[in-house]
């Protein structure tokens, strides 16, 4: 894991800025977009971490305490947990509405980058909610955005990305979006073959979908 991503996860989960030897030695690997996954809502610039978990805007000079940023992230996680419980109770419309409100709510003047882990979880949960309602096209749109966060966190060739692309292919297939499905299925088959083997059931199912769409 790159230094910026590792430090961000440690800060979010354990509320401190790691200054161990490994982080210090790899500090040059960091870039502003990767350091925190947080953006200033006013000027859309990356927030840079400082001591004690505080952050400041690289462009306008605004500053935020580690405490208020941690509270913001906890609020987002609570909304995600609540949406998950609503999905378990077969209430996808309520779950989607809750997350849409959560996404658009202004939180201490800070927004998440599209590749932030919590942004990815939000998009993935929205995809589940719309899929449960049978709105396959809308679900696919949210899953595409979630896939960007998965690729940033785990890598474009990771098994996590393989599962995500396979789900996206299924959503496009269910929506009857032939061209979109055919554009995604080969990559899903490649990734799943890489991690699970060419004969795994998921790869065979994708091949059957492709054959159905082509012939």
- Which pLDDT does position 22 carry in this prediction? 75
Residue 90 has pLDDT above 90, yes or no: yes
Rounded CA-CA distance 196/182 in Å is 21
Kindly report, residue by residue over 166-177, the tens digit of the pLDDT: 999 999 999 999
Domain parsing of the chain, residue ranges: 3-154, 155-215
Other beta carbons less than 10 A from residue 169's beta carbon: 25
pTM for the model stands at 0.80
Fold of 3-154: 1.25.40
Estimate the share of the chain in helix, then strand, then coil, as percent rounded to the nearest 5: 70, 5, 25
Mean pLDDT of the region 24-40: 59
User: Among residues of the chain, what percentage have pLDDT more than 90?
Assistant: 57
Q: Are 45 and 58 in contact (CB under 8 A)?
A: yes
Kindly report, residue by residue over 149-207, the tens digit of the pLDDT: 999 888 899 999 999 999 999 999 999 999 999 999 999 999 999 999 999 999 999 99
């Amino acid at each position: 894991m790159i230094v910026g991503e590792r430090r961000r996860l440690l800060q979010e989960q354990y509320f401190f800025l790691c200054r161990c030897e490994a982080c210090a030695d790899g500090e040059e690997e960091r870039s502003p977009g990767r350091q925190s996954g947080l953006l200033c809502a006013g000027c859309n610039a990356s927030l840079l971490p400082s001591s004690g978990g505080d952050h400041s805007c690289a462009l306008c000079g605004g500053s935020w305490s580690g405490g208020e940023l941690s509270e913001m992230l906890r609020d987002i996680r609570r909304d995600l947990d609540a949406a998950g419980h609503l999905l378990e109770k077969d209430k996808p419309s309520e779950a989607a509405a809750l997350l849409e409100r959560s996404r658009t709510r202004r939180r201490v003047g800070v927004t998440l980058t599209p590749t932030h882990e919590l942004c990815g979880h939000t998009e993935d949960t929205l995809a589940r909610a719309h899929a449960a309602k049978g709105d396959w096209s809308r679900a696919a749109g949210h899953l595409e955005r979630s896939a960007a966060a998965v690729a940033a966190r785990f890598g474009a060739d990771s098994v996590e990305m393989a599962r995500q692309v396979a789900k996206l292919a299924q959503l496009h297939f269910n929506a009857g979006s032939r061209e979109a499905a055919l554009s995604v299925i080969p990559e899903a088959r490649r990734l799943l073959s890489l991690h699970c083997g060419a004969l795994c059931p998921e790869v065979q199912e994708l091949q059957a979908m492709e054959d159905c769409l082509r012939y």
